Chains A and B, each alone.
Chain A
């Protein structure tokens, strides 16, 4: 067997870079909703993967009904956002102030119910949705799907939007105050619970949108959320919680390292190497790579 980089001499490095970009941006997109909820509420939504799955299902169903792909993706955001509102109202609200375990277990129960509910409603074998464009562009001779490029742009746009909301609007100030010190914020008349509510809804809607956007390149089955979910948890613990750079660096370490190692050394090395890198990061910085202690 020829050495890997002899197989395609000229465009090898370009290919590696393109794959790196697309793997980091998809992982980041998947984890953003989880990160926002974790960042503000300091709880993990164990049903995050299932929110992605529901986003993908909604998008596919609405698309089959004749809607345009982008409108379907927005519909997914709305539907999952509404679900988030319901979950917040009936499950999470009574758990504020209780220990971590209650929230984890309640959202895990939710995740199980969502998987089973989806299976009963739509059958076990899954659905598919085609990307809005199947154009393949050429980046200095290396093929790259246009849709991956669009995903990258959307991810960047979402990051910019979050940054703007956090640092340039009043809502952002309130949010940061609630995170910084709950008691002081309440002393200033900020309704922390309402901050939590809107954060959870926004995080859910974002998860729905991400699920819809990722659906064309994924197996959309009731089980879809399980794999995505734990990959997102990995991003969160590696990235830590400090600024918006945390999930980005988390995604680079978790997804990027795997993609690059895969290109240069093959698949086995990439799985073992990627995971070792994560453990190494945690050994040096146990609270995540970008974190305030």
Chain B
């Protein structure tokens, strides 16, 4: 008896919700034609939330900057921030919502490769330009056709093909013993990004005559790295490359430093020594070499303006002026704004044409959108971590991804 009435109550509630929804969808919520809506997919909760907050902050600074200059196509810019919950399914759902409910003209963001891959089909189908903000494998080819470039997807970060070779060459000149091969030990989290990056490191090392001593992967939930650390210490490589993004890299470094690993060798890494991770690594990150596209200590005028604007907007943010993700989101929006202005319309094909070979000075340096692969050609810097801050020790210059090599969209 009780159950049956429960059912009735639930049925009534559902019916009301359904009717409200059907009524709602007849009038799309964002009927406001007088603003330029941009969707920001930021993982504000879940394990990528540090990254998500940075994306949002950077995008907010760009919003203010663009609006102080008249917005885009004469309309003020308004951001619609959507939380992807750090999950691919969440990212896809939110992207669909932003496109179909809010009618955004542009999407930026996401925090992981998986989330980006989940959003790509949604954006492609709706022909809404999507600039993903993450470094990593190339994801800008068309689905089912790895040889032609997508007209809706751009990558604002760098790919492994842009950083690995110059980075290794630079470190080899610094640390190799003359007359002996340069010996590298690779470790990484056991998933796609570290494996594909290290796979390419191996190719480059073979070409340059370096020796890869070992390549080992631990699952991301590992809490005890001591057997691995012992093996590395016994192998005594010239260089250890850590590709354990997120918490696992922090755990590894904390344990490695406790046993004194850093005293025996030089440590570097890909995507492991983000500003968010350095905060949790603390003193264990001291002296590590990494390769990145942005540091708050760059001295070009664009960066000084960005840092100033960021400080004014977020005076209480501990990560002043925000890590790479913030500058990346800022840069993506500036580039897109310029392309929309050049195109003079929001038509996706005209936007695509305007994006090709576009050049712009950004906080990270001069950036050029490569027409061949939709990746942002950009300067890459080698940095060393000192007092939990990046200090730039070498500018490797503008780097380019060759064609559509190694696209991970299937």
Contacts and interface: CB of A to CB of B under 8 A. Distances in A.
Interface of A: 1, 4, 7-8, 15-16, 18-19, 22-23, 26-27, 116, 119, 123-131, 134, 136, 142-145, 147-148, 216-224, 227-228, 231, 255, 258-259, 262-263, 266-268, 270-271
A217 B230 contact: no
A5 to B, nearest CB: 10
B283 interface: yes
B130 to A, nearest CB: 24
B223 A218 contact: yes
B180 interface: no
A140 B322 CA distance: 47
A1 B279 contact: no
A134 B255 CA distance: 11
Interface string B186-204: 0000100000000000000
Nearest to B49: A124
Interface residues of B, number: 45
Given A217-B254, A218-B251, A267-B216, A126 B276 contact: yes
Contact of A216 (B52, B53, B217, B254): B254
A191 B227 CA distance: 48
Q: Most chain-B Cβ atoms within 10 A of its Cβ — which of A27, A217, A268?
A: A217
A134 B226 contact: no
A270 B284 CA distance: 27
Contact of B247 (A136, A223, A258, A270): A223
A221 B247 contact: yes
B36 to A, nearest CB: 29
B69 interface: no
Contact of B283 (A22, A128, A231): A128
Contacts of A224: 247
Nearest to B235: A7
B50 A124 contact: yes
Contact of A7 (B52, B216, B234, B254): B234
Given A7-B234, A130-B282, A19 B258 contact: no
B296 interface: no
Interface of B: 45-47, 49-50, 52-53, 190, 213-214, 216-219, 221, 223-224, 226-228, 230-231, 233-235, 247-248, 250-251, 254-255, 258-260, 275-277, 279-284, 318-319
Contact of B251 (A124, A219, A222): A219
Contacts of B46: 223
Given A217-B258, A218-B223, A130 B248 contact: no
> At the interface, is chain A mostly helix, strand, loop or mixed?
helix
A227 B213 CA distance: 30
Given A130-B283, A145-B259, A263-B227, A1 B318 contact: no
Given A1-B213, A125-B276, A267-B218, A259 B49 contact: no
Given A127-B280, A128-B280, A128-B283, 6 more contacts: A7-B231, A119-B49, A148-B258, A231-B221, A259-B224, A259-B226
A53 to B, nearest CB: 12
A106 B172 CA distance: 55
A128 B259 contact: no
Nearest to B253: A219
B276 A216 contact: no
A221 B226 contact: no
B250 A126 contact: yes
A131 B258 contact: yes
A65 to B, nearest CB: 16
Given A131-B258, A134-B258, A218-B254, A125 B223 contact: no
Ordered nearest first, which 3 A-B pairs have the shortest CB separation?
A128-B282, A126-B280, A219-B250
B224 A258 contact: yes
A270 B224 CA distance: 12
A263 B254 contact: no
A270 B216 CA distance: 12
Contacts of A143: 233, 259-260
A159 B282 CA distance: 32
B230 A8 contact: yes
Nearest to B317: A123
A26 B226 CA distance: 12
A222 B254 CA distance: 17
A231 B223 contact: yes
Contacts of A142: 230
A136 B251 CA distance: 18
21 contacts: A1-B213, A16-B227, A19-B224, A22-B226, A23-B226, A26-B223, A119-B49, A124-B50, A124-B276, A125-B275, A128-B250, A128-B254, A128-B282, A128-B284, A134-B258, A142-B230, A216-B254, A218-B250, A219-B254, A220-B280, A267-B218
A19 B226 contact: yes
Contacts of A259: 224, 226-227
A1 B318 CA distance: 45
A50 to B, nearest CB: 14
Q: Most chain-A Cβ atoms within 10 A of its Cβ — which of B47, B216, B254, B277?
A: B254
Nearest to B278: A125
Q: Most chain-B Cβ atoms within 10 A of its Cβ — which of A221, A255, A259?
A: A221
Contacts of A128: 250, 254, 279-284
B53 A221 contact: no
Nearest to A218: B251
Contact of B224 (A1, A4, A26, A125): A26
A222 B217 CA distance: 25
A86 B282 CA distance: 33
B258 A219 contact: no
Contact of B228 (A123, A222, A267): A267
A128 B258 CA distance: 13
